[in-house]
Structure 1
Amino acid sequence: MKLENFAVTADQMRQIEAKIFAAGMPVAALMEKVAGRIAARIQMILRAEGRRQKESEFFSGCGGWGLAEANVPGIADVRKEAEGKEVFDLQQLPAIGFLVGPGHNGGDALVVARELHFQGFSVVIYCPFAKVKELTDCHLRYARSLNIPCSDKVDVLTNCDLLVDGLFGFGLEREITNPIALAIDQINHLNKPIFSIDIPSGIHTDTGAVLGTAIRATRTLCLGLWKLGLLQDKALEYVGKAELIDFGIPWADVENVLERSSKIHRITRKIALSTLPLPRPPVTHKYKEGHLLLICGSRRYAGGAILTGLGARASGVGMLSIAVPESLKSLLVAQLPEALIIGCPETETGAISQLELPANT
C-alpha cells in the first residue's frame, strides 16, 4: 500500500511516531532526516522557479517565435544551464526567513535553516518564544553560533524573498492568541511566498478549522502522511499547493495504528482514473456494455443536463439515453450526438411533466 493514499488524524500520527521512536529511531536523528528532505525539496522548487524565470526571460527577448519551445534556437542551452545549481549565483540566491515555534516543528525549521545557510542562502530566524523544547533549543543555540540572525520581531522578515513556517506543527488544538496571532497576521500581510512545514500554523490537524488565525501558505510540505485537516474545505485557502514529503515511515507501523482506528482513504486522481474507461473486449456491442438512462435538466438548468451527460459518456457506458424537457432536446443532441436524446412533455416552467420513454429504453 502507498502511504500517500491515506490521511491521518493528529492522534494517529502521534501513535505512529511513538512506534518509530520505540523501535530505536532517535528523535534527533529523525528530525535531521526530515529536515534534510525539506531542505532538498525547497532547493528543487527554487531551482525549478529559476529555470522558469530564465526561460521566460529568454522567450520575451525573442519577441515571440510562434513555434514550439523545443524548436526555438538557444532554448536547449538555457535548459542545460538550468540543470544544476548554477541557475543561481550567490547574488541571486533568495533570502529566506524561518518562523520558528517552540516544538519540534520549530526544530525542523531550524535544521532546514542551518542546511540552507551552509548552501550559501541568506537566512534569518524569527522566534517569538522565550521557552522552547530542549532539542529545538539546541538547534537555536547552534544557529546563533553560526551567526545566523535571530530575532523575536517580525521586522526581521521584511527583506526576505521566501518564508518557511515552522511555528506550530500537527496536534495544535488551542486557539492562537496575541501576541502570536498579531504576528501571524503581520506575516500574512507581508505578501511573501510561504512554505509551511507539515501543516500551516493555526490550522487544526483533524478538522482544518482556523484556530483564531493561521498562516496563509503558498505551499505546504506535509511530512510522512497526509493530515486530515489539509483535505478539509475550510483549510484549502490556507494550504496553497500541498505535497507529501516521504521520509520512510515503515508501513507496518502505519498499518498497526490504522487497523485499530478509522482508516481514511484519499481518492486521488490516479485512483479515480484507474478504472476508467471501463474494460471491454475487442469485439462487443454497445448494449453489452451497459445502458444508462439519465433523467435530468430543465429550461433554467440546461447546463446540468449537459454536464451529467458528458460525465456519463466519459465513464465508458455502452449506450446512453437522456430524457430531458422537449425544449432542451436540440441542445443536448448538439452536445452529445452519440446519445439517444428523449424529449419529454414539460411544465410551464420548463421541467419534465411526464416521462415518456421508448419501449426498449
Structure 2
Amino acid sequence: MQDRAAQLQTFVVTAQQMRAIESRVFAAGMPVAALMEKVAGQVARRIQVLYPQPATRRVGVLVGPGHNGGDGLVVARELLFRGYEVRLWQPIAKLKDLTAQHARYVQSLGASVSDRPESLDGVDLIVDGLFGFGLERPIDGDLAAAIAHLNALPCPVVSIDLPSGLHTDTGEALGTAICADRTLCLGLWKLGLLQDRALAFVGETELVDFDLPLADIAAVLSESPGLRRITPEVALSGLPLVRQPSTHKYRQGHVLLVCGSRQYLGAMLLTALGARATGVGMVSMAVPESAKPWLVSRLPEVVAYGCPETESGAIAQLPSLDLAKFQAIACGPGLTLDAAGVMRTLLESDRPLVLDADGLNLLAQIDPIATLRSRSAPTVLTPHTGEFQRLFPETGWDRENRPQAAQAAAQATGATILLKGARTAIASPQGPVWINPESTPALARGGSGDVLTGLIGGLMAQGLAKGIAPEASVRSAAWWHAQAACRAAQERTVLGVDPVTLTEALIPTLRDWAAIARPPM
C-alpha cells in the first residue's frame, strides 16, 4: 500500500475540489484558526531552512485581505520571533477578521507596515501571501503596477500556495501575477501549477502536507475521473523491471516500427534506439528498401523489412507480414505524407497502435474521430500542440487547458492521448488525466519525439504481454523520457541534449531510479 506522502504527490485538485475538501474538514470541527497556525507554521519552518540567516535578514511579506494573507502574517510572526526583520506590504486596507487579528499582533511585535511597494526595496526575501487559490478577477490599476515593481526587485520570492494573480485551474495570469522563485503549494497540488502557461510564474514547486484526511480527499475526488501527477513510484510500476529467470525473447514483447523515408533516415534510427532501450524482446522495422542496408549496419539486432518505395522515397506499402505476431506497432516518425496507404493498412489492423508525427498528420486527413472509434485495438496518439490542432480543428475544446483538451480528445476518440508540452498531459477514455510534472526545455529539439515513440512502442509491446494497460506504459515512457533529458541537461546543459545523447541517458537514468525505489536488502 502506498504511504501517505506518495499518495499525496499524485493528487491534483481544482479550486472547486479544494474548497469542497476544506469544507468537509471545517464541518468536522477543525477550527480555521488552528488550521492556519498549522499550515503557516510549516511554511515558516521551510522558509528558515531555505533562506537562513545571516544571508537572509530582511523579509518583506505581501499581505492580502483573506486567509492567504493570514498565512503570510503567521509566517511573518514566526520569522520575527527568530530574529528576522519583517516589513509588511498591505495594499488593501480591509482584512477578514482572522487576518486582521494577526496583522495587529504582528505590528505590535515591531513589524513595519506600508501600502507602498517601494517599502520593500532592499529586502533579502519576499513572502507572497497576497492572494491564494480561487482568485477569479483580473488584477489591474495601481495593484498591477505595484506587482510589476515587486517583480523587478532582485531578491527571491516565495509564494504561499500559488503565485498571487494566477488562476487556480488554468494557470493563467489574471492581468498580472507575482513571479515566484519558489511556490510552497498547500495540502494538495493545484491544477494551475501544472499548466504550461504557469511555468513563467511558479519557479520551483513543492508540496506542504498539513494532514488533510485521506478519507475527505477520496470522498471529493471520487466524484470525477480527476487529475493525477506522475510520480517515480507510478512510473516505475508501469515498467517491466522484473523478469523470470527462464524467460526468452518472445515472452518479452515484439514491437514493429513503421517509420522513415529516404528523406528522413535519422527518424527511424532514433525511434529504434528508443525502442531498444526498453529491453523489448524483439524490434522489427518496416523501412524503405533503399534504407535497409544503412539501418542494419547501425542496428544489427533489428529485424528489418524492406518496403516498396514511392518516387519520393516513402514507404509505398508494407511487405507481406503477419501483423498478429507483433504485440504493438509504432508508426509515424519520418514517414512523410506519401505513405497514406501504409497508414490505412495499420488503422484497419487489430494491433495496438502508436501514432506520432506523420502518422498523426495522415490520420488528420481521414476523419480522426470516426476512424479511431472504429478500431478494435488500443490506439495511442502523441501530438504536440500543432498536430493536436490539425487532428481536432473544430471541436471547441480549450486547448490552453491541456489536461482538459487531452481528456476531451480521449473521450471522443476512444484513444489514449499524450499531449506533449512542458507539462505533458496523458488521458485515456476512462480514468484520470495524468500530468508529467517535470521536464526540461532541452527536449525542444528535432528528434526528441521520435525517441519517445520508440519508448512507448517498446514498453507497450512488453506491457501487453505482461498484462500492463497501454496507458500505464505511456505514463512510464513519458516520465522516463523527461527524466533522462533532465539528467542529460544537468551534465551537458540544455544546449547539449541532442536526441542521440538523450537515448544514451535512458538506461543510466532508469538504473538510478530503480535503485532508489528498490534499495538493496
TM-score by length of 2: 0.57
Q: 313-322 or 230-239, which moves further after superposition? A: 313-322
Distance in 1 separating the partners of 2:186 and 2:317: 55
Contact 1:277 1:314 survives alignment (8 Å)? no
Question: Is 1:189 matched with 2:194?
Answer: no
Mapping 1:259-278, distance limit 5 Å: 259-278=222-241
Mapping 1:1-361, distance limit 5 Å: 2-46=7-51, 88=53, 90=54, 92-326=55-289, 328-329=291-292, 332-333=295-296, 336-356=299-319
Alpha-carbon distance, 1:343 to partner: 4.1
Alpha-carbon distance, 1:315 to partner: 3.2
Could you give the per-residue CA deviations for residues 136-192 of structure 1, whole angstroms, max 9, x where no partner exists?
A: 111111111111121111112211122111111000111111111111122112243
Rate the CA distance shift 1:281–1:176 in 2: closer, same or farther, 3 A.
same
Distance in 2 separating the partners of 1:26 and 1:334: 70
Distance in 2 separating the partners of 1:32 and 1:304: 56
Contact 2:56 2:124 survives alignment (8 Å)? no
SS in 2 for 1:143: helix
Alpha-carbon distance, 1:326 to partner: 4.6
Q: 228-237 or 265-274, which moves further after superposition? A: 265-274
Distance in 2 separating the partners of 1:220 and 1:336: 46
Contact 1:171 1:204 survives alignment (8 Å)? yes
Alpha-carbon distance, 1:329 to partner: 4.4
Contact 2:56 2:125 survives alignment (8 Å)? no
Rate the CA distance shift 1:135–1:315 in 2: closer, same or farther, 3 A.
same
Alpha-carbon distance, 1:274 to partner: 2.3
Alpha-carbon distance, 1:37 to partner: 0.8
Could you give the per-residue CA deviations for residues 274-307 of structure 1, whole angstroms, max 9, x where no partner exists?
A: 2223432112211121110011123444444344
Alpha-carbon distance, 1:336 to partner: 4.3
Alpha-carbon distance, 1:352 to partner: 2.1
Alpha-carbon distance, 1:357 to partner: 6.1
Contact 2:127 2:157 survives alignment (8 Å)? yes
SS in 1 for 2:51: helix
Distance in 2 separating the partners of 1:23 and 1:117: 33
SS in 2 for 1:125: strand
Rate the CA distance shift 1:307–1:94 in 2: closer, same or farther, 3 A.
farther
The unaligned stretches of length 5 or more in structure 1 are: 48-87
Which amino acid letter does the alignment assign opposite residue 137 of structure 2? R
Contact 1:278 1:317 survives alignment (8 Å)? no
Distance in 1 separating the partners of 2:161 and 2:25: 18
Q: 309-318 or 216-225, which moves further after superposition? A: 309-318
SS in 2 for 1:355: coil
Distance in 1 separating the partners of 2:265 and 2:123: 51
TM-score by length of 1: 0.81
Which amino acid letter does the alignment assign opposite residue 233 of structure 1? D
Rate the CA distance shift 1:141–1:350 in 2: closer, same or farther, 3 A.
farther
The unaligned stretches of length 5 or more in structure 2 are: 327-521
Rate the CA distance shift 1:298–1:179 in 2: closer, same or farther, 3 A.
farther
Which amino acid letter does the alignment assign opposite residue 30 of structure 2? M
Distance in 2 separating the partners of 1:226 and 1:288: 39
Distance in 1 separating the partners of 2:40 and 2:110: 20
SS in 2 for 1:39: helix
Alpha-carbon distance, 1:46 to partner: 2.6
Contact 2:147 2:177 survives alignment (8 Å)? yes
Q: 328-337 or 219-228, which moves further after superposition? A: 328-337
Q: Which has the higher contact order (CA 8 A, sep 6+)?
A: 1
2:402 paired residue number:
none
Rate the CA distance shift 1:36–1:330 in 2: closer, same or farther, 3 A.
farther
Rate the CA distance shift 1:110–1:328 in 2: closer, same or farther, 3 A.
farther
Q: 213-222 or 184-193, which moves further after superposition? A: 184-193
Could you give the per-residue CA deviations for residues 246-297 of structure 1, whole angstroms, max 9, x where no partner exists?
A: 0100001111111223432222233112222343211221112111001112
Distance in 2 separating the partners of 1:157 and 1:297: 58
- Percent identity between the two aligned chains: 60
Distance in 1 separating the partners of 2:59 and 2:304: 59
Structure whose CA Rg is larger: 1
Alpha-carbon distance, 1:327 to partner: 5.4
Count of residues in Structure 1 that have an aligned counterpart in Structure 2: 319
Distance in 2 separating the partners of 1:118 and 1:331: 70
